[in-house]
Structure 1
Amino acid sequence: MISIITPILNEEGYVKPFLIHLNKVKGDFELILVDGGSKDGTLNEVENCRNEFQGKLRLLSAPRGRAIQMNKGAQVAHGDILLFLHVDCFIQKDSLELIEKEIGKGVIGGGFRQAFFDADFFLKFSSAFGNLRVSLTRTFFGDYGIFLRKDTFEKIGCYENIPFLEDVELCKKAKKCGKLVQIDRYIFTSPRRYLSHGRIKLTIVFNLACLFNIVGFRPRFLYRYIADK
């Protein structure tokens, strides 16, 4: 079984369509939502959709922080495969079946190809560049749908509680334990961060930060001098 773990915080308007879509995905899974202290209508939207999952949905609370929330979900997960899925990311209907197929081949984890909803030329270019980077490095950002065997996740010490690139650090540690793959299916992501913070800025920030991290710069340094600007 696959345990889907999704951190949420003030996601009113996003969590309901996420749940409606996910309930149509094929495969044996449980969904663990970990709330970091939402103050809007997020939790009401979750409760309104709970019955549709027939006991497969659990709602937990944890201190605010994406790494903290995802680690909390992983601690209680029943599945032997963990899929960390952002609330504004939509996987395709056969994605879980493809994950199980790859794990059955002996890989320890991986992610998908990434594309944006309603993408203009620049966002399409950003996705293409990001997918090329992943194909060369097997280092995924969180919106690529990172999945790992649960025993591997526990072996490498879970997500590091850092403000930036916790997903990249996880992949770096995981690659020391086995093979990561990029599944040939798209995960579709909302461009909301790019639209609110600037498409060019975020594309440069994320890819520069990933490059510098690969060659040895620590995430806290990169957050201070690149991301937090």
Structure 2
Amino acid sequence: MQLSVVIPVLNEAEHLARLCQQIRSLVNAGCEVVVADGGSSDASLALATEPGVRWLSATRGRASQMNAGATMASSEVILFLHADTYLPDTAIADIASAMAGPGACWGRFDVVIAGRSRLLPVIAAMMNLRSRFSGIVTGDQAVFVRRDVFSQVGGFPQQDLMEDIELSLRLRKRSRPVNLRTKVVTSGRRWDDNGACKTILLMWHLRLLYRLGTPAAELAKRYRR
């Protein structure tokens, strides 16, 4: 299986050392790595000189950046990886095995959230459980999808928030996701900075409003307050 890894970045200097290490491991494993920059003004620009990286500048916004990266990707399967999310050593083999199953066209990993709050293990467990039953995937869970299927469903919607939820709804019409129990590790900085309980309640509230039809642009304003 050929695998392209698309990483959207925007001023990710905080995670640069570990991100570079992960990129080198992916390149050494034979993956195509596409870094889609949304206008970084910090040391993230050093990623452009990493050996094996295909670098592009894209319109700021995670959906826009990932769509641009997917356009450049040439492999049969694309993995969308947030800059602060880190793969397990077995990730490539796990994806290959998952996509070899009958009818499999997309999937995701379970997630562990790294941070200070004692609630983070509970939050991660609930995210994984909810995703397993609903077929809805968050970007922190490292979504992978066949490139042709991603194109057929129109890619990520051009919206400021909930782009991962909307993509899941589109892909779920094709098939249920493959739910890998192997875990990626993602940063818990959002929960640590804003408070775990407050962040949980905010995200539940925003998801409910989204399902009720509130425009993503309005939800993004509330999310950033």
Q: Give the TM-score normalised by the residue count of structure 1.
A: 0.88
> 1:21 Cα deviation (Å)?
2.7
Partner deviation per Cα, 1:92-141 (whole Å, 9 max, x = no partner): 01111111111111311111111112454211111111111111111111
> 1:222 Cα deviation (Å)?
6.5
1:31 maps to 33
2:19 maps to 18
1:66 maps to 62
How far apart, CA to CA, are the structure 2 residues paired with 1:115 and 1:107?
Answer: 24
| 4+ runs deviating over 4 angstroms | none
Q: Which runs of 5+ in 1 are unaligned?
A: none
Partner SS state of residue 13, structure 1 = helix
Q: Which moved more, 1:6-15 or 1:67-76?
A: 6-15
Change (3 A) 1:138 1:62: same
2:73 paired residue among 71, 77, 82: 77
2:194 maps to 197
Change (3 A) 1:71 1:226: same
> Which aligned pairs between 1:98-137 and structure 2 lie closer than 5 A?
98-105=94-101, 106-118=103-115, 120-137=117-134
How far apart, CA to CA, are the structure 2 residues paired with 1:158 and 1:148?
Answer: 10
Change (3 A) 1:167 1:219: farther
Amino acid at match of 2:134: T
**Does the CA contact (< 8 Å) of 1:112 and 1:183 recur in 2?**
yes
> Identity rate of aligned residues, in percent?
28
How many residues align? The count is 222
Change (3 A) 1:123 1:63: same
> 1:19 Cα deviation (Å)?
2.1
> Which aligned pairs between 1:120-159 and structure 2 lie closer than 5 A?
120-159=117-156
**Does the CA contact (< 8 Å) of 2:109 and 2:182 recur in 1?**
yes
**Does the CA contact (< 8 Å) of 2:23 and 2:33 recur in 1?**
no
1:169 paired residue among 158, 166, 169: 166
1:223 paired residue among 213, 219, 224: 219
Amino acid at match of 2:55: L
**Does the CA contact (< 8 Å) of 1:37 and 1:61 recur in 2?**
yes
Change (3 A) 1:223 1:177: same
Partner deviation per Cα, 1:202-226 (whole Å, 9 max, x = no partner): 222223433554x553452771685
Aligned-pair Cα RMSD in Å: 2.1
Q: Which runs of 5+ in 2 are unaligned?
A: none
**Does the CA contact (< 8 Å) of 1:27 and 1:97 recur in 2?**
no
> 1:170 Cα deviation (Å)?
0.1
**Does the CA contact (< 8 Å) of 1:32 and 1:59 recur in 2?**
yes
How far apart, CA to CA, are the structure 1 residues paired with 2:156 and 2:76?
Answer: 17
Q: Give the TM-score normalised by the residue count of structure 2.
A: 0.90
Amino acid at match of 1:40: D
Partner SS state of residue 23, structure 1 = helix
